[in-house]
Structure 1
Amino acid sequence: MASSTVTSPQPPRPPQPNLAFRQLRGQRSPAEFAAAVRRAAREIGERVCCDARYVGRVEAGEIRCPNYAYERVFLHMFPGRTLTDLGFAPRSSVRGRARTTDDADETKGACEPYETQNPPDPHQSDHQNDEIYEESDVLRRLFMTSGATVAAASLSPLGLAHDASAAQSPVRRAGASEAGALEEAVRRIRLLDDRHGADGLYRRAAAPLRAAYALLDAGATRRTTADRLHSGAGELAISVGWLAHDSGRFDDARSHYAEALATARMNGDEALEAHAFCNTAFLARDAGRPREALRAAQAAQRAARSLGSARLMSLLALREAGGWAGLADRTGCEQALARAQALFERGHSDADPEWMSFYGEAELEGLEAQCWSTLGDWRRAARHAGRAAQLQDPHFTRNLALYTAELADDLARGGRPDEAAAAGMRVLDLLGEVQSSRIQTMLAGTARVLLPHRRASGVSAFLERHASLPRTP
């Protein structure tokens, strides 16, 4: 228990929207305004990691006063104005109070970590919320129970320390045990996603991400440990970004991937850079930006060229194929697919990244199915999706549901409604174990395609069962 001489902190005030800053943005989107901020920073020799999420936090009042780098950029953009004119609180009013989580974000470095603090969804069942909290506890414990334990002072600004007096302790540097705990958190998130999907997990995965960047801020005892921390934080940002991606939160995913890419480039980590570009390509394809998907996939291949992993280059060729398919370039897509297959057949090597454990023959077939589906070749798409579902280890429920949903959609669009309904039923059987907005969106599209065929064998039963599913809020 904290000493009685310690003054109890005042309850946090709810943030007040920064209307002045919002007015200055005008008709520009948050992403466009963030790009303008980055350009202004370059003009005066500053470097800030501004994106749409940061702009949103400022406008929501979560950042009451920017750090000094952002201050210089904003005053350069709006000459003659003060911070108060821009809707911020005076720096003295922020620095004069005990630091809270928000204050820590307001006054630290220019590349600010991302955070997502979504409360539990009141519309979910108690069982679903229990699972969310259980996953949250698992992820927290990965940091709190490592050999030497993560420094309480490093975690306290992020809400992970339980002792109020620990927050007053000086921050100590991270060591090998903290780096190991971070790497284990990444593995655990990936495992939970493989088994259960992203929707519930995403709500709680931000806490380890904040802790990871707190460790980076604190520094490390050795250069090798610092490299591990940078790599681990970047991989964790990608993992959290994927959870956002699979949950349909594309803007959040884009921010997390951009953070990982910035971390990779600051540390000269080509493997992390390739991974960040790989996921960025996938996201761009799903978001309907095929040219960006193509360029990101090609950038990933340039970064990965010296790593010596044929399997990684195979996956990146598939990402490129997805971009070509989105551009309706069948020749480019076929060439990239052939390259992906040839590289895959070279087999595993010691150079294969750990995060690629998901990439086996089933994923190869599933990604090829998506390419043919994008090109409108439903027969070929269904053949590859069916192979993917057959090859997938049933232990990884999320991917099994994904490939089967792809199969159902390809069959429906290819004029085989009865087979599509049967595949759709198999997906519905799996949704009790999987929470993935992406899969639910695919299944909803299949249901719309099947509506005119409701009299076909099995279709009516599928449509009725699908209609009875609880709708995500």
Structure 2
Amino acid sequence: MEVNSILKRRMRELGLTQDELAEQMCVALREITGRQGAVSDRTVRNLLSGRTKRPSGRTRVALEHVFGCPVEDLGFRPPRSTAQKEDDVLRRTFVMSAAGAVMPPDLTAPRRVGSSDVRRLEVKFAAILDQDHKYGGLVSTETHASALAGEALSLLQRGTSSQRVRSNLYACAASFTSSALWAAIDGRRFNEAQRYLDRASTLAAMSGDASIQFRIWSHAGSLYRHLGRPIDALAANDVARGLPIARRDPMFASLGHARHAAILGLTRDSVAVERSIGRAQSAYANADLESPRPAWMQAFFDQAEIESLALTAHLSLGNFAVAESHAHRSISLLRPHMVRSRAIATARLAHAQLGQGEIEAAATTAMSTGSSHPRVTRMLDLFGSRLRLVAPHSSVLELWNEYIERRRDDL
């Protein structure tokens, strides 16, 4: 049997372990068929080992949904005709479910779109947020969120609605598109992210919803920060911080200041970084934590995120001891569902320890990340490069090289 190196590579690009791919395939089948999928890690092992050369039926459709391409592009043989018929049925089921409810019998009669449609989309948005915090950066999250944005917009075209419902539907479409934008940023697919940014900002403006406008411009700041363009990042984040909602609600102001600190770290302005962190802490202390806020804000922003952004800023400044203290505080405060954030903070902690010459502790920390997220993978690659520079002939480097080999074999 010949190992499917193409599938293995694609899993590595998406940051998926075998268990994570199995879970993502189960999620895809549940979304497509309405029933719980039954994909195990053994199924994935058979796909990777070459034992399964021609996946069919639900396995095939789930793979295509997760990776966003035909299975032939994943290193498999084309389907037999009988399997193709079953796949076509499943695809039609998915297309109908992705487009929303079944069309009414009389296609000429306008449908009344109301608050219940908005609530149904909001439930789907919550599921997108949950998936993002568990895995982050997946192409499947990006494409699913984009499809749901299309579903929200199709409701506007298929029926009549009040002005309030229309605004809410535009806000839903903007929210889904902003999640696709963030998934692309998180997965380091920056060209796709730029396209989502342009679309999301237009939808947000049409919605009139200040909170989603804040999210999108804040994401724009993050995009430009990851691209190494701090001036553009500061300008985008200034748009977010200048919105009325950031003046009315200290929680939004706090997030804006904290992300500003992370960007300012790239400019090497330590005074401005400390000022922004202080403002973020002060605004957070003045916020009413019980006030209702958008689901995306409630899902991730708290003191742990402020510490994480302060960690990012001080790493950029080379203040490794300060960065380490922020890392420990962030990790201790993270809520259980923040799996992706925990892995990223742990990888950054390893860099902070290595920067202080704590070679053994740093390597131990780095090897405990337990994630194949694209950003984590990149940080670990950088960690290995720096470890080879500071300890080229050490036993720690030998252990690190062994760990990297095992990690590659597991993907």
**TM bucket, shorter chain:** 0.7 to 0.9
- Corresponding residue for 1:408? 350
Which structure has the larger Rg?
1
**Structure 1 residues 231 and 377: CA distance shift in structure 2, 3 A:** same
- Corresponding residue for 1:380? 322
- Corresponding residue for 2:54? none
The one of 178, 186, 190 aligned to 2:117: 178
**Structure 1 residues 454 and 274: CA distance shift in structure 2, 3 A:** same
Query: Structure 1, unaligned stretches of length 5 or more?
Result: 1-119, 143-155
Residue 417 of structure 1 contacts residue 456 of structure 1 at CA under 8 Å; is this kept in 2? no
CA-based RMSD of the aligned residues comes to: 3.2
- 2:381 equivalent to 1:444: yes
After the TM superposition, which segments of 4 or more aligned residues of structure 1 sit over 6 Å from their partners? Answer: none
Worse-superposed segment, 405-414 or 345-354: 345-354
Residue type of the partner of 1:259? Answer: R
**Structure 1 residues 264 and 209: CA distance shift in structure 2, 3 A:** closer
Compute the displacement of 1:237 (Å): 0.8
Compute the displacement of 1:368 (Å): 0.2
Distance 2:323 2:357 in 1: 13
TM-score, structure 1 normalization: 0.64
TM alignment of 1:244-255, pairs within 5 A: 244-255=184-195
Distance 1:411 1:261 in 2: 39
The one of 328, 331, 339 aligned to 1:389: 331
- Corresponding residue for 1:321? 261
Residue 173 of structure 1 contacts residue 220 of structure 1 at CA under 8 Å; is this kept in 2? yes
Residue 393 of structure 1 contacts residue 400 of structure 1 at CA under 8 Å; is this kept in 2? no
Residue 31 of structure 2 contacts residue 94 of structure 2 at CA under 8 Å; is this kept in 1? no
1:61-110 alpha-carbon deviations (Å, 9 max, x no partner): xxxxxxxxxxxxxxxxxxxxxxxxxxxxxxxxxxxxxxxxxxxxxxxxxx
Once the two structures are aligned, what percentage of the paired residues are identical? Answer: 24
The one of 27, 32, 41 aligned to 1:135: 27
Helix, strand or coil: the match of 1:159? helix
Distance 1:305 1:201 in 2: 31
- Corresponding residue for 1:420? 362
**Structure 1 residues 263 and 207: CA distance shift in structure 2, 3 A:** closer
1:236-282 alpha-carbon deviations (Å, 9 max, x no partner): 11111111111111121222232221112123222211111111111
Number of residue pairs the alignment of both structures matches: 337
Query: Structure 2, unaligned stretches of length 5 or more?
Result: 1-6, 12-16, 35-91
Structure with bigger helix share is: 2
Compute the displacement of 1:411 (Å): 1.4
- Corresponding residue for 1:7? none
Distance 1:389 1:202 in 2: 25
TM alignment of 1:330-349, pairs within 5 A: 330-347=270-287, 348-349=289-290
Distance 1:379 1:221 in 2: 56
Residue type of the partner of 1:287? Answer: L
- Corresponding residue for 2:303? 361
Distance 2:330 2:251 in 1: 17
**Structure 1 residues 306 and 344: CA distance shift in structure 2, 3 A:** closer
Distance 2:124 2:222 in 1: 23
Say which structure, 1 or 2, has more relative contact order (CA 8 Å, 6+ apart): 2
- Corresponding residue for 2:219? 279
1:360-383 alpha-carbon deviations (Å, 9 max, x no partner): 121111100000111121221122
Residue 140 of structure 1 contacts residue 207 of structure 1 at CA under 8 Å; is this kept in 2? no
- Corresponding residue for 2:405? 467
